[in-house]
Each structure stands twice: as C-alpha cells, then as structure tokens.
Amino acid sequence: MPEESIDHIDFDDLNRRAVSQPIVSHIYTADPSAHVFNGRIYIYPSHDVESNIPFDDLGSHFAMEDYHVISMDSPSSNAVDNGVALHVKEVPWADKQMWAPDAAEKDGTYYLFFPAKAHDGIFRIGVATSSSPTGPFIPQPEPIKESFSIDPAVFKDDDGHYYMYFGGIWGGQLQRWRTGEYKDGEGPLMYLPENDEPALCGKIARLTDDLLEFAEAPKDVVITDESGNPLLAGDNDRRFFEASWMHKHNGKYYFSYSTGDTHFLCYGIGDTPYGPFKYGGRILNPVVGWTSHHSICQFWGKWYLFYHDSSLSKGVTHLRSVKVTELVHDEHGHIQTIDPYLK
C-alpha cells in the first residue's frame, strides 16, 4: 500500500488485522537484518527519525543517523533495544543517510556492514567491528574499496565463504554505475534501462577472509523468467529494485528482494550463490508505506520473515516499524505468499 493510497485507511482496524505487531514501539525501526548468534536473535535495523525533508524519489527524507541493535530470545518474546551501536559522526568517511545495514560473525568478531553517503554525495558501503553482537561497533576509517550503492546483505555459505549482496536503484544510485564509473545528474530515473532491456541487477562479491574488503569484482545477480531469460526493466512486478537477501534451504539458494515502486517482496531460486536465480514468486504482498525491506532466518527449525511497515506512524513513509511472522516453504520448495493484513 504505497503512500498515495493511505488517505482513507482506518489504522485501528488495520492494526487489528495485521498478522504481526511492531516488535518495538518506542523508536521507529526499518530494514531489519535478523541473525541468530549464540542461540539468540539479533536484529540490525535502520533507525528512522523525524525529518523535515520533503518526500522525493531520491529518498532524501530517509535521514537516518545511527543504528540500534534489537535482541530477542525467540520470535515471540519481548524485544530489547540495546541502544546506539554506531552513529554517523563516528564514521570518518560518512556524511549522512545511514541506510539499511547487515551483520555477520566470524571467529568471535561481529561485523556491521552499512551504506552511507560519503561527503561527495556518493553511497559507499562501510564495515565496523565489535566483540559483542550488540556493539558498540568501531568503524574502519574508509569504506570498502570499489563499493557503491546500498543495502548490503552478507551470507555465509556452508563452505565458510562469505558473500555480500548489495545494490538499489533510484535513490540507491545503482543505475549511475552502469558503465563502471559513477555518472552524476539530476533526478533518480536517469541512466535506467528501457523497458524492453534487461533489468538492472543487484550485485554479489565474495569477501576477503577478514571480511573487510571485496575479494573479487562485483558481479550481476541475474534473475530469470520461466524460460531462462533475464527479467526486463519493464517487468516492475518482478524485477529487482533493492533489499537483497540470501538464505539457503534444502541445498538451494534463495535470493530475495524488493520490487520497490510496486511494493512486493519476491524471490528467485538458484544452484549457487551467484545464480542465476529463476523467479519463484512473491514472499510478501504490499504493506502500508512506500518501502518493503526484509530478512529471513531460521530459529528452532522454523523460518521467519522480518519486515517493516508504517502502520504505527499511520502511514508516514519514513517512519516504519519492524515486524516478524513465520515463513513457510512448501513441499516443492516454493515460499508461501504472506498477506500482511487479514481480510
């Protein structure tokens, strides 16, 4: 439910029909990256704040400044806000817009991966480390070399390799890197492919052993149709927009993502971390608010979808709240589509 359709919503009724409620309500949280560390769930969301910046297609009104880490003993337990884990003022290279982060653990060290606009206005991806899953996190003095765009999601495969998926179009600037170099210009829709051209892809890069740099040049994450052809840019209900995530189920790799302006969470299935990924369907139908961003993790043998909507703020696009609900793979490996609000 994009912002333009909220004028006549009865939010009391909507919240009664919601399949889940916000896990915290004292702050606004969004873009949740959920992981299980040491038997507990840790959620790394962005922290939405009030903003006087007008709505635009660049996402300028998403003016987040810091990160909190939320922890839970189980998906049904009370959530604990562990306070500020990292602030933009602590990151030497970052200027503003601490957007959707992710986290990983290796050998007792916890890594927070985050996008931010550098002082030149270009999104880069940074890394910060801590001895605790809740932080505080100490940032590296520079962003990852050759990093760009937004929405990092780090996946550890069974062989011990770590991969970063990332990218987002429009305000996420991915389209500005089509030639391999950043192109400036006004408006978020410049440099997008034509509708009959292959859609822009999210990116994947294996990380170095210390998880601080790319071990290879980023590659396209190709999503294909039922005939094996890459999805087209005009296929707005299925093509990639932002919010990459990866999980593995029964030996298959599930690349999931948001379609952005059409407000779906979708997924594709592949045989390797690099894909290609055959389009599999929708995970979540549209929520209240413009954005849709998620993560998927397993806990006690069940799978859960962490997502957000703007129901608590009564539809304010940049004031969102993290929610969680069970996710089910059917006997064929497909994900059952979730309706966020009961009829």
Catalogue the active-site residues. Answer: 31, 242
CA-to-CA distance for 188 and 170, rounded, in angstroms?
A: 5
CB 246, CB 274: distance < 8 Å: no
Pairing of strands 223-224, 242-249: unpaired
Residue among 104, 116, 280 nearest 207 (CA): 104
CA-to-CA distance for 326 and 322, rounded, in angstroms?
A: 14
CA-to-CA distance for 259 and 242, rounded, in angstroms?
A: 7
